Structure 1
Amino acid sequence: MTLFKVLSYGKGFKGQAIWASVCSIVNKLFDIAPEILIGIAIDVVINQEDSFVANLGVVDPKEQLYLLGFLTFLIWAGESIFQYLYMKNWRELAQKIQHRFRVDCYGHIQQMDMRFFEDQSTGRLTSILNDDVNQLERFLNIGANDILQVVTSVVAVGAVFFLISTKLALLAFSPIPVIILGAFYFQRKAEPRYAEVREKAGQIASAINTNIAGVATIKSFTKERHEKKRISAISDEYVMANESAIKISSAFTPVIRMAILTGFLATFIVGGLDTLNGDLAVGAYGVLVFLTQRLLWPFRDLANTMDLYERGMASARRILGLLDEPIHIKDHAQAENIDLSGNIEMEDVTFKYESQTSAALKQINLTIKAGETHAFVGQTGSGKSTVIKLLMRYYHAQQGQVKMDGVLIENINIVSLRSQIGLVSQATFLFNASIFDNIQYGNEQATEAEVLKAAKLAEAHEFIVKLDQGYQTTVGESGVKLSGGQIQRIALARALLKNPPILILDEATSAVDNETEAAIQRSLKKIADGRTIILIAHRLSTVVHADQIHVLENGEFIESGSHETLLKNQGRYHQLWSIQTGGV
């Protein structure tokens, strides 16, 4: 059951959960007590020296009333104290469980395979981490206490009823089965509707995130009005899904009220008749009438509690569903931490994406010796980036072997592997922080001098110091305040700060100006000594100095060799070179 899985997340806070529950129960007991004292006060006024209190040893009626007044004060004070305690503890507990869910979900997402993100929208994941976790927190904050106090009311008031009059107890309790059955009925009706509400919330978050990220494209195509209408339509769907759920939860309240009225009238009339007939004391009748309200009226709020519950459980199912997503690319028990020198081997490697019908790579054989520079060229979709994804262990090949320094890549600890590979991709991501922080992200222990050295190697230092705040300049979200060339050079500096034995540039110069391309090429010459460099490029001018250039087509190597050798062969590389240089 979803609720039990949620509660199991609070095991680490078991002591606080028990204390919060005790405070809720004691608070409700104090809340019920004044009604009993009112009935006893009525008994004092009517029976005086023969009252229930007189039998306890306080004979004088005035002293009895003073005693009841003092007890009332203590009870109200106790109720207030325990209300503060249960509110404080339930809210703290809700925050802690919320925090654990959010951190665990985020940590799980971080470990997910790249294939998982191919089918996920950022907005949906953000919605789960924010909206769904917050919705669950609201239930834990309010709903758990409400349910506990309703149960306490039923048990405590029921005990008093059965002590005074079994007949009236049965009459007063008669609506409760109807209320409980109704609650289960409405829960089943509401469950799929609230699941749809959470899905629609995720769609809204996804659409808004996408549009904010693509605001420049929207403006360039003057699609502001169109996108506003699209967001409005998605929001309307969310509203309609909510309305459908609200109709169910709202219908529950009138049903409960009528059931409550039935129980109250039964106690009110039958108890009154018994009192008139002398079968029930006036004070006892007063206690039962007031306690009937305490027993049944809390059920009025059951609709709101059920609403919170269903919303919370719908969110919990999405959260738990995310946590249950399997991780396929992970370390096994014998995975090793290895200091790589940069030797890479691929033996008969074949790989196919699940979403594609044909293989992205077919029977690939490749040997890269430490310190060499190899380049992969070819048309879009030829398999160049797939080679990198296998080397980074984002995916596993279905056939063949990938080795680093003679060790199967599956036997190398993932953190050890990736920490020794510097990757600069075409879609470079910069955090909304300073340039210094973005470069230091490559090695958080690096000194200021090391950060500056990496920036100089990447030929980024010169433009950075010309900025108003230099290295402390905030780059904006995704580096929006910088040019494409500046972003790429910062990304290169970040990768160099790792001082990796293997450096990969995946289309890093495809969208930069000639000056930036030349700067990156100069940087590569400075850092190439003793380092394995892998280049993926459409611009062949970027790869002319590579030791080996591999031309891919339809997932296969069709020719390999140096720039000069491939030109002499008059093959596919020669054709691409001629097209780019204007020879054809």
Structure 2
Amino acid sequence: MSANASANSFQALVRLLRYARGYRRRIVAATTCSVINKIFDIAPEILIGVAIDVVVNQEHSFVARIGFTTPQEQIVVLAVLTFFIWAGESIFEYLYKILWRNLAQRLQADMRLDTYEHAQRLDMAYFESKSSGQLVATMNDDVNQLERFLDGGANSLIQVGVTVVAVGAVFFVISPLIALLAFTPIPLIIWGAFFFQRKAGPLYADVREKVGDLASRLSNNLSGIATIKSFTSEAREAERLRSVSEAYVEANRRAIQVSSAFIPVIRMAILAGFLATFTVGGMLALRGDLNVGAYGVLVFLTQRLLWPLTGLAEVIDLFERAMASTRRILDLLAVPVTVKDNEGKPLAEPVRGEVSFDAVSFRYAASGVGVESVSLHVPAGNTLALVGATGSGKSTLMKLLLRFYDPQAGRVCIDGQPIGEVSLASLRQAIGLVSQDVYLFEGSIRDNIAYGRPEASEAEVIEAARTAEAWEFIQALPQGLDTAVGERGVRLSGGQRQRLSLARALLKDPPILVLDEATSAVDNETEAAIQRSLAKIGHGRTVIMIAHRLSTIVHADEIVVIDGGRVAEQGTHAGLLEKGGRYAAQWRVQTGAMEESEALG
């Protein structure tokens, strides 16, 4: 398991580098500045040793050998070098911070957009199997976690490597013996780093999962706040959230416990290397086998070499969190899209609106329900009504028409063209959907009506609102079309939301209009208003209605009863009543209920 965790982190890094191949120039530039900055950062310790050599050996110092004979000249030269080294370090620190931080911001912004755009292309089946909280956590928190690593951790990792190589080279030039002693702890430090990384990897993967669970719980509770309040379940939901939150805290606690143990262990290894350099180097200098200035360089560089390695704990902590997040992000990007888009092949214009289902079969993988060998034909401009029990397959047919799913057998055609052979954009632009579960976006009434045609004029927006019988209540609002609807339209009544949904579909002016139980959750007044609207807009347009209230479909050109995923009956309202089958029985139940209600009234 530990080996797998290490391999998984490495694979995630490789996948990230593949994804970021368009940023290679920026990565190389940032890496180069980090390397140069660290070389300048190490140089002052060498200059200190050289300065000690000047003070001790004066005319016989190292600097004297390159042409500066007097100690005064040598000090001036060292001062000038120090100035340029510090200036160079400052310049390249500025550059690497600018480059890494801008890279982090650009990469995280592009990655978030890529994941969102890919998620929009995914099949509806994916969204039905994943919680919105998990997806939001991936696109937001996981992307931010990667950005935090690139913002500081990547530079730290590079500079630790540069320190080991550069300081090691100086050590071996001055004294191979002391170099061996100073570098003795490094294998232990590196082994410890990978050991803790292997331990921390699965723990941080668990942390990321818990973040998703927490985001999902918060999202669901806030969306269902009215239900929570109505059932006085605030305390129970707070306890559930506390349970998920504590699971996140516990996952973090386990990860922190492992990562926090790294520094104390590595500190002792560092102390061993420093004492070896300090003691053995001092003895060699006292015997005259090692230049005093060189001894000073070695002592200072030992600290410069070993102490930054303690930072590996934080770097590995950031790295593991980032790689756990990277895996989730790239796994989302790798989810295949099975409903393929035939871009560049639009429906033939003009779209007349003839719809046919030819021996269509489809079953949901999770439940096994769906439709079986359904064949229907709707001539252009006609109205088809689908009725049947809940779960009989009515809405499944509409999802197949919109290509939210592809049929497992048979085909769906519009104007004789199989919809699987045309672009999704042209297909869905030809269809207006008004569903039972109306979704309004946060914004104004105007924005929501014009959602399908943002370029529409105000006159066109108002005309659509009039046709949907929504203009009267819109005018009564203090800000009219500019009234904010609130999140998911919470500031409006159910009937008002439904009328705006119909206006939105009408402004799109599609040749095919789909009403998926659009009147099942509205009052009688709204239902009557929608029926009047449909009477106006049905002419010259193909309308497919799914309805439970049979009174809303009596004027349909054809009514189809779906039962158990198959066509049980079809015909006109009058013809089906004469048959005395399922439709007639349901009609008697509903009209009887209406008469009983009126009698009780």
Q: Same fold (TM over 0.5)?
A: yes
Say yes or no: does 1:576 pair with 2:591: no
Give the deviation of 1:569 after TM superposition.
Answer: 1.8
Say yes or no: does 1:78 pair with 2:88: yes
| Matched residue, 1:344 | 355
| Matched residue, 1:562 | 572
Give the deviation of 1:399 after TM superposition.
Answer: 1.6
Give the deviation of 1:71 after TM superposition.
Answer: 1.8
Deviates more, 1:197-206 or 1:537-546: 537-546
Give matches, 1:176-255, under 5 Å.
176-255=186-265
Say yes or no: does 1:326 pair with 2:336: yes
Say yes or no: does 1:389 pair with 2:399: yes
Q: Deviations over 1:440-482 (max 9, x none)?
A: 1111221121111111111111111110100000000000000
- 2:190 aligned counterpart, secondary structure: helix
| Matched residue, 2:6 | none
Q: Deviations over 1:159-210 (max 9, x none)?
A: 1111111111111111111111111111111111111000000000000000
Give the deviation of 1:333 after TM superposition.
Answer: 7.3
Determine the C-alpha separation between the residues in 2 that align with 1:333 and 1:380.
35
Give matches, 1:22-421, under 5 Å.
22-332=32-342, 335-339=345-349, 340-357=351-368, 359-421=369-431
State whether residues 338 and 416 of structure 1, in contact with CA within 8 Å, keep that contact through their aligned partners in structure 2. Answer: no
State whether residues 432 and 475 of structure 1, in contact with CA within 8 Å, keep that contact through their aligned partners in structure 2. Answer: yes
Determine the C-alpha separation between the residues in 1 that align with 2:501 and 2:343.
34
| Matched residue, 2:449 | 439
- 1:9 aligned counterpart, secondary structure: helix
Determine the C-alpha separation between the residues in 1 that align with 2:204 and 2:298.
39
| Matched residue, 2:556 | 546
- 1:365 aligned counterpart, secondary structure: strand
Q: Which consecutive aligned stretches of 4+ in structure 1 deviate over 3 angstroms post-superposition? A: 332-337
Q: Number of residue pairs matched? A: 583
Determine the C-alpha separation between the residues in 2 that align with 1:145 and 1:571.
75
Determine the C-alpha separation between the residues in 2 that align with 1:412 and 1:13.
35
Percent identity for Structure 1 against Structure 2:
58
Determine the C-alpha separation between the residues in 1 that align with 2:460 and 2:342.
35
Determine the C-alpha separation between the residues in 1 that align with 2:161 and 2:373.
67
Give the deviation of 1:332 after TM superposition.
Answer: 4.5
Q: Deviations over 1:53-112 (max 9, x none)?
A: 111222221232222122222211221111111111100001111111101100110000
Give the deviation of 1:335 after TM superposition.
Answer: 4.5
Determine the C-alpha separation between the residues in 2 that align with 1:518 and 1:129.
43
| Matched residue, 1:505 | 515
State whether residues 347 and 417 of structure 2, in contact with CA within 8 Å, keep that contact through their aligned partners in structure 1. Answer: no
- 2:32 aligned counterpart, secondary structure: helix
**Unaligned regions of 5+ residues in structure 1, if any?**
none
- 2:386 aligned counterpart, secondary structure: strand
Determine the C-alpha separation between the residues in 2 that align with 1:233 and 1:372.
55
Instruction: Give the AA of the match of 1:138.
Output: R
Determine the C-alpha separation between the residues in 1 that align with 2:112 and 2:288.
62
Give the deviation of 1:334 after TM superposition.
Answer: 8.2
Give the deviation of 1:13 after TM superposition.
Answer: 2.3
Instruction: Give the AA of the match of 1:534.
Output: I
State whether residues 335 and 410 of structure 1, in contact with CA within 8 Å, keep that contact through their aligned partners in structure 2. Answer: no
Deviates more, 1:204-213 or 1:151-160: 151-160
Instruction: Give the AA of the match of 2:429.
Output: S
State whether residues 334 and 411 of structure 1, in contact with CA within 8 Å, keep that contact through their aligned partners in structure 2. Answer: no
Q: Deviations over 1:510-561 (max 9, x none)?
A: 1111111111111111111110000101111111111111111111121111
Give the deviation of 1:11 after TM superposition.
Answer: 2.2
State whether residues 424 and 495 of structure 1, in contact with CA within 8 Å, keep that contact through their aligned partners in structure 2. Answer: yes
Determine the C-alpha separation between the residues in 2 that align with 1:162 and 1:301.
24
Determine the C-alpha separation between the residues in 2 that align with 1:333 and 1:561.
37
Task: Return the TM-score normalized by structure 1.
Answer: 0.98
Q: Deviations over 1:361-381 (max 9, x none)?
A: 122110100000010011111
Instruction: Give the AA of the match of 2:359.
Output: D
State whether residues 342 and 424 of structure 2, in contact with CA within 8 Å, keep that contact through their aligned partners in structure 1. Answer: no
Instruction: Give the AA of the match of 1:342.
Output: G
- 1:248 aligned counterpart, secondary structure: helix
- 1:432 aligned counterpart, secondary structure: coil
Determine the C-alpha separation between the residues in 2 that align with 1:297 and 1:362.
70
**Unaligned regions of 5+ residues in structure 2, if any?**
1-10, 597-601
Determine the C-alpha separation between the residues in 2 that align with 1:530 and 1:174.
86
